[in-house]
Amino acid sequence: MSQSIKIKNALISVYYKDGLEPLVKLLAAQGVQLFSTGGTEQFIKDLNLPVTAVEDLTGYPSILGGRVKTLHPKVFGGILNRRALAGDQEQIAEYEIPEIDLVIVDLYPFEETVKAGGTPEEIIEKIDIGGISLIRAAAKNFNDVVIIASKNDYPTLQAQLEAQNGETTLAQRKSFAKTAFHTSSHYDTAIFNYFNTEEPLDVFKQSVTEAKTLRYGENPHQGGVFYGDLDAMFTKLNGKELSYNNLVDVDAAVALIDEFEDPTFAILKHTNACGIASRPTVKQAWVDALACDPVSAFGGVLITNVEVNLETAEEINNLFFEVLIAPSYQPEAVELFSKKKNRVILQRNEVELSKKQFKTLLNGVIEQDKDLIIEGPEQMTTVTDKAPTEQELKDLFFANKIVKHTKSNTIVLVKDDVLIASGVGQTSRVDALRQAIEKAASFGFSVKGAAMASDAFFPFPDCVEIAAEAGITAVLQPGGSIKDADSVAKANEKGIAMVTTGVRHFKH
């Protein structure tokens, strides 16, 4: 197998020209013959460098509105011929095909056109044919050919050619080929997922080009990588890099806060809300959220849906926390938080989130639609003799939002738009309720007059009886148990209002 190869001929055809000039000038200075097409050809001519049009090489013009430019044996023969194979060399000599040692090409902006809301016709025209074929051909023949499929690789190739007198090694060419196949596979995945929306095929394809290596995973002995564009999602104003556990909590925090429109503050620990309140001002929302469970709040992830001002920041500053997320901050608030360098202060940007979620499971991947439903008072059906009051309906709605984002089995207790306690992740719904009642009492909250939400139906009336004895006056549950009537009868017996929604919100 050949090792170092000197570049003699290069085909350059790119959509974006930025960053290309220094590399093209170097190639020309090293005596490389340049072949090009269309706009790239003109770009090279404007640099006063010699360039040969692909049309002159093939004897065919660009046709079909530019759809066919490079698809020709004199181009692909020059790329795919094996230098060490006598038969290949005889054929390229017979047909006067130049050996192409370097291909620099990028792809039409398909993803960008989709994101920009292009018409179906505009999107289809951004499916690259010639470019993707050039990438695959050159990458396949990496033994003899250099493929550059990303402008990010221009500086690397330039440094290699400068240091090695216009030559590349086999290892370098193989590395460029790996990057090129990543480019082509990502591109094809984006195209497939665009088409796979109506009557979708049951296949799983995802490709994410951004990656961030984490300090470690869930525990220090586990490696971890985040695949995604965090910089698009957040502007980090202060603090250390986010950890695996931080990211999991931040994801839960964002999902929860998006349920609320009024000024709201939430505190999360291990993805569950340990405090949340909606109030007329952000400061009061923070104070009341913290009061729910100031012990669990220590080291938590904080999030609000309104700007954090200095007055509120001074209150928050008294607590040790890991991450704070808000849509904006007063400059003075950021200055205050920045006095502790490890605190992560994130300003959330407007980014459309996926409506799908997936994770590895057993020997495969499990995917589902996100739980995007939330039932308000208009979806609540009163099933008891006593109907909930207007404030109870409001509190049941508030509690239902929290229940949706809390680990099952869960019970959530709310009073006046404030979480006063929850029972989280219990194997028994009775245990979840008792945990919530006991926790509320431990922080000085009375559950008398509180609203209670359950993420699933009651198979027995025991939870209703316990709630009534504690003074809870309104209950929300999805319904659907074959013994619903027993729970309704118990609620009527105890004078409790009960509503059903018909929607279950398990979160495992």
Q: At what angle do helices 170-195 and 130-140 cross, to 10 degrees?
A: 140
* Alpha helix segments (H runs only) across 258-309: 282-292, 294-297
| CA distance from start to end of the chain | 54
Task: Tell me if 134 sits within 8 A of 79, measured CB to CB.
Answer: yes
The first and second tokens of residue 377, run together, are 């008072």
- The residue type found at 445 is F
Query: What is the SS3 assignment for 179?
Result: helix
Measured distance CA(263)–CA(423) in Å, rounded? 25
Task: Tell me if 249 sits within 8 A of 271, measured CB to CB.
Answer: yes
Question: What is the arrangement of strands in the sheet containing 344-348, beginning at the earlier edge strand?
Answer: 234-238, 344-348, 321-326, 300-304, 264-269, 272-278
Task: Tell me if 133 sits within 8 A of 168, measured CB to CB.
Answer: no
Return the residue matching tokens 């060490």.
84
Measured distance CA(138)–CA(100) in Å, rounded? 9
φ/ψ bin of 160: left (φ > 0), alpha (ψ from -120 to 50), beta (otherwise)? alpha
Pairing relationship of beta strands 225-227 and 211-213 according to DSSP bridges: antiparallel
Measured distance CA(79)–CA(144) in Å, rounded? 9
Query: What is the SS3 assignment for 151?
Result: helix
Query: Among the options 140, 151, 186, 507, which is catalytic?
Result: 140
Q: Is 140 labeled as catalytic in the residue annotation?
A: yes
Least Cα distance to 399 among 388, 415, 385 occurs for 415
Measured distance CA(127)–CA(446) in Å, rounded? 63
What does each C-alpha distance from 206 to 65, 106, 115 come to in angstroms? 32, 21, 16
Query: Among the options 8, 236, 270, 507, which is catalytic?
Result: 270
Least Cα distance to 277 among 164, 167, 376, 416 occurs for 416
Return the residue matching tokens 């007059």.
449
Return the residue matching tokens 């066919």.
68
Least Cα distance to 475 among 422, 430, 427, 412 occurs for 412
Measured distance CA(372)–CA(401) in Å, rounded? 11
Task: Tell me if 137 sits within 8 A of 165, measured CB to CB.
Answer: no
Query: Could you give the residue numbers annotated as active site?
Result: 140, 270
